[in-house]
Amino acid sequence: MSTSNVVGAQHDRIGADSGGTFTDVVGGDGRIAKVPSTPDDPGAAVRRGTAAVADGRPALLAHGTTVATNALLERRGAVVALVPTEGFADVVEIARQHRPSLYDPWVDRPEPLVDRAHRLEVRERLAADGSVLVPYVAGTVPQVPEGTQAVAVCLLHADLDPFHELQVAADLAAAGWDVSVSSEVSPEFREYERTATTVVNAYLRPVCGPYLEGLAGAADEVLVMGSGGGLLDLPAAAARPATLLLSGPAAGVQAAAQVAQACGFPDAVTFDMGGTSTDVCLVLDGAPAPASERTVAGLPVRLPSLDVHTIGAGGGSVAALDAGGALVVGPRSAGAVPGPACYGHGGTEPTVTDANLVLGRIPAGSSFPGLGTLDLAAAQAALDRAGVTAAGVVEVVEAGMEQAVRAVSVERGVDPAGLALVAFGGAGPLHACALAESLGMAAVVVPAAAGVLSAVGLLVSRRRAERVRSWATPADTAGLDDALAALAAAARAELGDPAATVTTWLDCRYAGQSHELRVATVDDFPAEHARRNGYRRDDGTPVEVVALRAVAEGAAPAQVADVLAGWADRWDAPVVGPCTVTREDCTIWVPAGWVGEPGPLGALVLRRDGGPA
């Protein structure tokens, strides 16, 4: 599918988001293309979609990729060796005392990405203040086993002083190895998380590097979306692929937050339902919630990201009866191939898309990009074979998505009643009103180009560089301002933009606590602790600083109002439910009792009939 909404002047900028089922491409002038993803060669779909939108070679391609995420989930990364400090070879296996399932005695943690034979200890040691206890002797790294493809170096307390790590890395690089160093990948305290993150980065580099390099010729400049919601240049993305694990979803959140704010909802939950998964994120005062760590495939990745909660619920999620006869939907997905039964590409199992087609939420006779007319009879037959009903499938998947919205709102101490639900992705607008109804939310916002909003987000997100460093003396803040200024300068230099805006943050906690909160200043910590945890300490307990952060942001390739300008007149009258509204990029289900009004930037703002305007 390709649609033109040309407004002039930005045709040379392209956003391309690779999803599990579709690859979405948007031009800076508003033209869009939605093509089936090509899992064996994701770049092929990007190139095909770009050709459908661009007039020749674009000046800029902003890309959101699932290559890193899929490689980690499917364990298709490199053979990695780990070089730790002597005595710490088993950190990646011992991990933390957290149990994945508290009452299951048989549950296992994920296998480490590095087996015991590939853990090569070196003799060196730093003290907890960064001083040298045992110096590293150059050239004493053990021989790396044959067949290794990448090496991760993570030495004790290297977040405080990387001197030994850089010496070890230099020895390995001189021998021709591809090396990831913890002091460059994740220079923060907590040995297990820092080690695990560095290993993940090494594991992904041989997979992601060639893929990203293959996109270099797709445009004069290629930028890649990072998990933190900012665009990285191609060399930085290839060097640190662990920063790309939330690449596409982060872009959608950024665009959704901007559209919600334009529609008068600075506080919202973004709701992105695609073919394979659903991603939700809390937005307060126009800013998506950040996170300093997330877990992917059971492994901690201690890198800046947006606080996106993901569940395996998408249009392609497979419905079935479990061993006890209960209906379950997902996380297994029919994906792009063979896809739902109604696609006619060989799929035989019922999916959420099949259920929506049978219920009439997707009108009979509809077609999706590159698929032709959807097969209603095949969808019904798949449901019948599995012994499930369309209404049951939708009820179960919506219950799971409601829990996801609660996880980022109620469980964060935020009442969803005061929030809008911003629905996008190809399937999000089909389920948004039902979720908002269950949660008592204020409104549903369906952005223009909702089905390709993550690709829009790639164009309207800012270039970003983020620096972090551990603070060695938590109880002593002498020199803190100078250290923050130096970190800010380093972030601005990394971005390469003297005019970049820089924001600094502190990770703080009360003395004796194990986890920290991000605040602008030490004085802000008690109020933030009260907001997040319901209380503050007034007994003189000191506030400790454990890490410093600086975020430099440059200009976005395009402005959301410009990209969506061609969609400004998308709605010429109110929409009154019950009805289905079909658009080229998505389908919107408006239940009885809901009314939609045209909003800014071509959005449709849906409220319960008689609800507050």
The mean pLDDT of 71-77, rounded to a whole number, is: 88
Burial status of residue 391 (CB atoms within 10 A of its CB: 0-12, 13-18, 19 or more): exposed
pLDDT above 70 for 608: yes
CA distance 499 to 91: 42
Q: How many angstroms separate the CA atoms of 260 and 266, rounded?
A: 6
One domain for residues 49 and 150: no
82 with 202, same domain: the answer is yes
387 part of a folded domain: no
Determine, yes or no, domain membership for 235.
yes
Q: Check residue 106 and give its pLDDT.
A: 80
Q: Would you state the pLDDT for residue 5? A: 39
- Residue range of the domain that includes 58: 2-72+210-248
The residue out of 183, 218, 248 marking a domain boundary is 248
CATH number at residue 40: 3.30.420.40
Which residues have C-beta within 8 Å of that of residue 46, sequence separation ≥ 6? 16, 18, 23, 25, 61, 63, 215, 218
The answer on pLDDT for 295 being more than 80 is: yes
Helix%, strand%, coil% for the chain, nearest 5 = 35, 25, 40
Alpha-helix residue ranges (DSSP H) falling in 182-333: 182-185, 191-214, 234-239, 247-262
Task: Check if the beta carbon of residue 453 is closer than 8 Å to that of residue 252.
Answer: yes
pLDDT at 370: 66
Asked if residues 599 and 445 have their Cβ atoms less than 8 Å apart, the reply is yes
Do 116 and 142 share a domain, yes or no? yes
pLDDT at 41: 84
Per-residue H/E/C for 376-407: HHHHHHHHHHHCCCHHHHHHHHHHHHHHHHHH
Domain count, the chain: 3
Residue 369 has a pLDDT of: 67
How does pLDDT run across 478-534, given as a tens digit for each residue? 999 999 999 999 999 999 888 899 999 999 999 999 889 999 999 999 999 998 888
Backbone angles phi, psi at 341, to 5 degrees: -60, -35
Asked whether the beta carbons of 334 and 344 are under 8 A apart, the reply is no
Same domain as 121, residue 92: yes
- The answer to whether residue 9 sits within a structural domain is yes
Domain co-membership, 199 together with 230 = no
141 lies in the same domain as 229: no
Q: What is the mean pLDDT of residues 525-550?
A: 92
**pLDDT score, position 120:** 97
Structure tokens at 233: 């240049």
Residue bearing the bigger pLDDT, 3 or 190? 190
**CATH code for the domain in which residue 485 is found:** 3.30.1490
In this predicted structure, the answer to whether residue 550 has a pLDDT above a threshold of 80 is yes
Other CB atoms closer than 10 Å to residue 602's CB: what's the count?
A: 22
Please check the confidence at residue 129 and state whether its pLDDT lies above 90: no
Domain membership of residue 272 (yes or no) is: no
- Residue 287 resides in a domain: no
Helix (H, G, I), strand (E, B) or coil at 175: coil
Weakest mean pLDDT among 10-24, 200-214, 302-316, 461-475: 10-24
Let me know whether 118 and 201 are in one domain. Answer: yes
Query: Considering 188, 207, 226, which residue would you say is the last residue of a domain?
Result: 207
Cα→Cα distances 473→128, 129, 545, 547, 548, Å: 10, 8, 8, 10, 12
**Residue 612 pLDDT:** 57
**Considering only CA atoms, which of 92, 45, 91 is closest in space to residue 65?**
45
> What average pLDDT score do residues 369-390 get?
91
For residue 177, pLDDT beyond 60: yes
Q: What is the pLDDT of residues 570-585, one digit of tens each?
A: 888 899 989 999 887 7
Claim to verify: residue 189 and residue 82 sit in the same structural domain = yes
- 231-266, pLDDT tens digit by residue? 999 999 999 999 999 998 999 999 999 999 999 999
∠ Cα 424 429 432 (to 5°): 105
Domain-located, residue 99: yes
- The SS3 assignment for 223 reads strand
Asked if residue 453 lies in contact with residue 272, where contact means CB atoms within 8 angstroms, the answer is yes
* Domain-located, residue 202: yes
The 10s digit of each residue's pLDDT in 52-63 is 888 888 999 999
Q: What's the confidence (pLDDT) of residue 558?
A: 92
User: What is the number of other CB atoms lying within 10 angstroms of the CB of residue 56?
Assistant: 8
DSSP helix/strand/coil, 203: helix
Residues 519, 540, single domain; the answer is yes
β-strand partners of 373: 367
Q: What is the pLDDT of residues 15-26, one digit of tens each?
A: 999 877 788 999
Q: Are residues 160 and 238 in the same domain?
A: no
Which pLDDT belongs to residue 168? Answer: 97
Mean pLDDT (the chain) is: 91
For residue 336, give every residue at least 6 positions away whose Cβ sits within 8 Å of its Cβ, in sequence order, or none. 20, 21, 22, 36, 37, 38, 39, 275, 316
Tokens standing for residue 538: 């007034």
Q: Which of 553, 575, 602 is the last residue of a domain?
A: 553
- Does residue 516 sit within a domain? yes
Residues contacting 406, CB < 8 A, separation 6+: 416, 439
Share of the chain above pLDDT 70, in %: 97
- Residue whose pair of structure tokens reads 């000046």 in the numeric block: 59
State the pLDDT confidence band at 567, using cuts at 50, 70 and 90: confident
Residue 63 and residue 144 share a domain: no
Q: Which residues contact 558 (CB under 8 A, 6 or more apart)?
A: 10, 13, 28, 459, 460
Dist. CA 8–CA 273, nearest whole Å: 31
- Looking at the fold, whether 88 and 164 belong to one and the same domain comes out as yes
